Amino acid sequence: MSQAPAALGESPIAPASSLPSYLQADKLGPWGNYLQQVDRVIPHLGNLARWAETLKRPKRILIVDIPIHMDDGTVAHFEGYRVQHNVSRGPGKGGVRFHQDVTLSEVMALSAWMSVKNAAVNVPYGGAKGGIRVDPKKLSRGELERMTRRYTSEIGIIIGPNKDIPAPDVNTNEQIMAWMMDTYSMNTGSTSTGVVTGKPVDLGGSLGRREATGRGVFTVGTEAARHIGLDIATARVAVQGFGNVGGVAGKLFSETGARIIAVQDHGGTIFREAGLDVPALLQHVTDTGSVAGFADAEVLADEKFWDVDCDILIPAALEQQITAENAGRIKARMIIEGANGPTTPAADDILQERNVLVVPDVIANAGGVTVSYFEWVQDFSSFFWDEEEINARLVKIMKTAFAGVWQVAQEKKVSLRTATFIVACQRILHTRELRGLYP
C-alpha cells in the first residue's frame, strides 16, 4: 500500500537549514556564540559554503552518567560529556574540563572551537571536547580519581589514540591525564600512552606541554603587538585567570619587562600600578589556590577589573566574560584570548568599532594543542625530543599560522577572528568535500 504523503512540516528530509532541536536550544550560550561566528564566515567561503552546514552539526555527542562511591558511603551521580564536533581532518582532539557550570552547549562550543583551532594551525586533527559538571575542589583525591576513571571508562567507547585524544583544560592536569591513560589502558589490555596528551613527562608526556598554551599566547601576542606598534617591554597587562594559561602567559610577559598590573581569578581581583611580583604571585597561587590574599597589592572589586587602565588584556578563564555590557569600558589596545570563547559576538562588534585589536582564541591559545600534537607524535614513535626543539617548533608553527591569518584579515578587511575562521573553515570543508559523503 502506498503511504500518504507526509504533511507539511513532517517531511522525512529535514531542510539543510533546519538544525536538530538540541542544536537550536541555546542561542545565547557559547554554542549560540559559535553559530554566530560561523555565520559571519560563510559569505567568505566561496563554493565551499555549500558544505558549511557541517560546521553547525557536531559529528558525535555522548552524554554519560558517572556514578561513584563517595567517601561517606553514599553514591553520587555526575553528568559527563564528550563531543566530537568534526573529524574530517583527523581524530578528534581537545581537552576535558571539570567545572560546576559545564553544560552541553558549552562542551559543543568548545569542541567546535577545537575544530577551528586545529585547522588554523594546521595540525592533523578534528575537534572534540569533554567535561564533567562538578566542582572538583569539593571532592577528596579518592573521589576525584574514581570520578575520572569512571568517566574515562564511559567515554572509552569513542576515544582512542586514532579516534579522539583528550587533554587538560580547566581544573584538569597531568595527574588526571595519568588516571585517564591508565584506565583506558586497563580497559583495552595494553599500555596506550597516545590516548591522552598533557600527561606527566615520566608517562609519555612532552616537555613544554604544561607551558605551551601560555607560550603560544605570548608568541602570538608579541607578533600582533608588533603589527600595531605596541611595545611589549613597556606594556601594562591585565590578566583574568591565573591558572595554567594565564599564569604562564603572565610570567612570560613580565619577563620581557611588561608590568602585570591586575590579575583576577575565581577568588578575587588584585591590582598594583608598579607591577605585581609575578613569581611570588605564582607561588602564592600554588600555596593557597587563588590570587586572593596576596600581599603587596590592592584589592579591587571584581567588576572594576574591566575598567583597569592597561595596554593588553588577557582573558584566560572562562567563556562570555567580555560582553556588550563591559566591552565599552575596556581600556586596552589589544586583547589576547587565552581562554576559549571569552568574547561574545556583540562585544566583538563593539571592540572592533573602538579599534581594539582582538587576537582570537582559535589562534592565540593554539599553542597547547600544538605541543599536544608533538606529544602524540612522540608517543607513537617512542622517541622524545628536547625542550628547546619543542619550543622552537611551537614558535615556528604559531608565527606561520598568525602571519597567514593576519594577511587574510588585511586582504579581506575582516577581524582576526573572521580571518582565522576563514582559513580554518576552508581547510575543514575542503577535506569534507574531498572525502565525499558515502557510505
Ligand X SMILES: O=C(O)CCC(=O)C(=O)O
Alpha helices, DSSP H only, in 289-386?
Answer: 345-353, 361-364, 367-381
Residue 68 or 170 having the CB closest to ligand X: 170
Q: Is 314 in the site for ligand NAI (CB under 6 A)?
A: no
CB atoms within 10 A of CB 380: 12
For residue 189, the 8-state DSSP code is T
As a dihedral over the C-alpha atoms of residue 97, residue 102, residue 103, residue 108, rounded to 10 degrees, the angle is -30
User: Which window, 59-67, 263-271, 403-411, 413-421, contacts ligand NAI (CB under 6 A)?
Assistant: 263-271
d(CA 186, CA 181) in angstroms, rounded, equals 9
* Residue that is written with C-alpha cell 594551525 in the block: 121
* Per-residue buried b or exposed e for 118-148, using 16+ beta carbons within 10 Å of the residue's own CB: bbbbbbebbbbbbbbbbebeebeeebbbbbb
From the list 319, 287, 305, the residue with the least C-alpha distance to 33 is 319
Catalytic pick from 56, 129, 199, 251? 129
Query: Taking the chain, what is the end-to-end CA distance rounded to the nearest angstrom?
Result: 29
Residue 219 interacts, among ligand NAI, ligand X, none and using kind-specific CB cut-offs from 5 to 8 Å, with none
Q: Is 340 in the site for ligand X (CB under 6 A)?
A: yes
Residue 197 interacts, among ligand NAI, ligand X, none and using kind-specific CB cut-offs from 5 to 8 Å, with ligand X
CB 368 within 8 A of CB 96: no
Residue 35 or 245 having the CB closest to ligand NAI: 245
Residue 94 or 241 having the CB closest to ligand X: 94
Q: Pick from 144, 176, 316, 357 the residue near ligand NAI by CB under 6 A.
A: 316
Q: Is 339 in the site for ligand NAI (CB under 6 A)?
A: yes
* Active site (annotated) includes residue 129: yes
d(CA 190, CA 162) in angstroms, rounded, equals 15
Residue 339 or 397 having the CB closest to ligand NAI: 339
Q: Is 126 in the site for ligand X (CB under 6 A)?
A: no
Show the site string, 193-222: x = touches ligand NAI by CB under 6 A, - = not: --------------------x---------
Contacts with ligand X, residue ranges (CB under 6 A) = 93-95, 117, 167, 169, 197-198, 340, 365, 368-369, 372
Contacts with ligand NAI, residue ranges (CB under 6 A) = 168-171, 213, 240-246, 264-266, 316-318, 338-340, 365, 368
